[in-house]
Structure 1
Amino acid sequence: MLSTLDHAKWLPITPDTDASLRLFCIPFAGGGVSMFRGWQEYLPHNVQLCPVALPGREKRMAEKSITNIAELTDILCTLLTPYTDKPFILFGHCFGGCLAFETARKLHSRGTSPAMLAVSGCRAPHIEPPLKIADLPSDSFTEALRRFKLTPETVLDIPDLLALFIPTLRADFKMDETYRYTESLPVFDFPVAVMFGDEDAIIPQECITPWQGYAHTPVTLTQFNGGHVFFADNPGPMLHAIFTALDGTVKH
């Protein structure tokens, strides 16, 4: 079991007992909780944003990254279980969406289901990843990060800083590129919402559409203008889409 200290590391914002719904957010490959900064202001007043901080990035940079997706999602299940006394949404972007899916699947199999699984820029889990960069040589790996805008330029332009990020980035991409869901569909009996950019050069729409088979209820697919991180400048429309899809399932 995770200690109280560990819970604080993984969940920098303590879930509020007064919130009627919690939104647990998992970042993309190599990303940290800073990607969710400012999101709370776009949420309904009684919904709490609960970003998940993974090891090997930001304030947890000194910690070794977890390289096994089964181990990582087992920890996430242990982490979240004490806070499933209230309805909750699991959200993840790209690789974070893969982690959110697998965590939701494990929780569901143990009798605890989220009110919704929401993902953005994330391939359907049984689909082969269209981009594979984890095993590229160092220069090619860095060039791919730059070309597909997977890492901030401020990191890519400082070699010593980039060197700190590379192990976590490679570990995350390796997990994402080797993970494949191989069991039967549909998986869930709760809503699934999928958001994507119409100019996404990393996860094209043909990798998104197959999400439609993952739930007994209709899966909501919402297209936005923009690239892979289409919500970077304004997460409001995407968050609105999530709660629009959820409307009628959980009162908020």
Structure 2
Amino acid sequence: MSWFRCPETRPWASMRLFCLPHAGGSAVFYRPWAKAVSPAVEVQAVQYPGRADRMADAFVTDPHQLARLIAGAMAPLMDRPAALFGHSMGAVLAYEVARLLQERGTPPVHVFASGARPPHDRGDERVADRDDDGVVEAMVELGGTDAEAMRDPELRELVLPYVRNDFALIESYEHRGGTRLTVPVTAIIGDADAHVTEPQAKGWAEATAGRFALKVLPGGHFYLADQQPQVIAEIHRTLEVPA
């Protein structure tokens, strides 16, 4: 099963944007982006195993292994410049994927790290250790469309296992020394996000030897749902593609 979902194939596009979902998220989260981005950009959304149309695939429980699998799957799609956009858990995975791509001689042109603390400052919250109600409570607190699914008992039974796996995966993440990223990084956060403050987001500057920028938009952890036009505009401006 392919690792990527491309809502709209664009063979003429000059660039690909690889989008990595949050914990409990799936590729469908980025489907609306395909219509919103410039025709010069092709959206490729990562589909983690164990959910949606990959429900039968085994979970990956190690974040570094997951990054290696994603980077490996990207190889055939690196025939044109690529940027990475990751939200929350996806931001840390995007960073690790970028490091691997850089090591292999095909670095992305940019990394967008959304709604996340930097790799070396992950905090000590442990949602994965909570009971089912506790995990649901954490999802509702974060907001986003996944929280609504948790209210339906049948959906909850399907969704909880991969949500718990994702929290365990990102909460076990430890930053390792090695390749220093030289790719430019833009951190984007919501001004009311209780999980990452502006000073914490500025820590992403330490994750790269390249240029760093911080964009703060109105909203909470899932600010990008309400602020999609502003996020897309920031991507266009940064990547210097026509809107």
Q: Residue 245 of structure 1 aligns with which residue? A: 238
- Aligned pairs (5 A) from 1:67-146: 67-129=61-123, 131-146=125-140
Q: Residue 229 of structure 2 aligns with which residue? A: 236
Q: Residue 59 of structure 1 aligns with which residue? A: 53
Could you give the per-residue CA deviations for residues 90-134 of structure 1, whole angstroms, max 9, x where no partner exists?
A: 111000111111111111111110011111001100003353311
Q: Residue 196 of structure 1 aligns with which residue? A: 189
| 2:148 is the counterpart of 1:154 | yes
Give distance in 1, aligned partners of 2:97 and 2:210: 19
Deviation at residue 15 of structure 1 after TM alignment: 5.6
Give distance in 2, aligned partners of 1:125 and 1:245: 22
Q: Residue 23 of structure 1 aligns with which residue? A: 17
Q: Residue 220 of structure 1 aligns with which residue? A: 213
| 2:163 is the counterpart of 1:174 | no
Give distance in 2, aligned partners of 1:15 and 1:180: 35
- Tell me the TM-score normalised to structure 2 length: 0.91
Give distance in 1, aligned partners of 2:228 and 2:145: 19
Q: Residue 3 of structure 1 aligns with which residue? A: none
| Structure 2 portions without partners, runs of 5+ | none
Alpha-carbon spacing, 1:59–1:127, altered in 2? closer, same or farther (3 Å): same
Aligned length: 242
Deviation at residue 78 of structure 1 after TM alignment: 1.2
Determine if contact 2:136/2:147 at 8 Å carries over to the other structure: no
Using the aligned pairs only, state the percent identity. 32
Deviation at residue 152 of structure 1 after TM alignment: 3.1
- Output the aligned Cα RMSD: 2.1
Deviation at residue 184 of structure 1 after TM alignment: 6.4
- Tell me the TM-score normalised to structure 1 length: 0.88
Determine if contact 1:145/1:151 at 8 Å carries over to the other structure: no
Determine if contact 1:131/1:202 at 8 Å carries over to the other structure: no
Most deviating of 145-154 and 233-242: 145-154
